[in-house]
Amino acid sequence: MPIELVFKFADEVVAVKIIYHDILFYNSMTNFTIPARIEGIKLNIAGILKEFPDLKGKPEAEIKQEAIRRFKEKVKTMKNENEIKDYIIEEFTKKLGYTLMLIKKEGFRAKKF
């Protein structure tokens, strides 16, 4: 059952849709119509290095590639969409500074924060 999370940071709004172990990202720049996988997201090198200090000193492209690989591996080990949802919320709110605005789960009313 798909879960959609909506986050806000300043004037940027980002939606994350979790379908089984597949994660899609949407933003207001594309009017939430064009999904992107983690490979299509602009990643912050400083943020990656905070999470994975062992990558320091490597080329930027290699850092991004390894961060994406580790993200996918972590998601694969999670049991269900709810566990992935909790992980995404923690990453966006605690590490990236976003505010959770909404959780929508198919078949249920949206929960606003």
Domain ranges across the chain: 3-112
- Looking up tokens 């207001």, which residue turns up? 28
- What mean pLDDT value characterizes the chain? 90
**Of 87, 89, 83, whose CA–CA distance to 103 is shortest?**
89
Cβ count within 10 A of residue 45: 13
pLDDT of residue 97: 79
Mean pLDDT within 77-88 = 94
What is the DSSP-derived secondary structure letter of residue 80?
A: S
Mean pLDDT within 80-104 = 90
Share of the chain above pLDDT 70, in %: 100
pLDDT of residue 107: 87
User: Which of the four pLDDT bands, split at 50, 70 and 90, describes residue 2?
Assistant: very high
> CA 50, CA 48: separation in Å to the nearest integer?
5
Phi and psi angles of residue 31, each rounded to the nearest 5 degrees, phi first: 55, 30
Two tokens at 73? 């591996």
pLDDT of residue 22: 92
User: Which of the four pLDDT bands, split at 50, 70 and 90, describes residue 46?
Assistant: confident
pLDDT of residue 110: 92
Q: How far is CA 110 from CA 4, 36, 76, 87, 104, in A?
A: 9, 23, 26, 19, 4
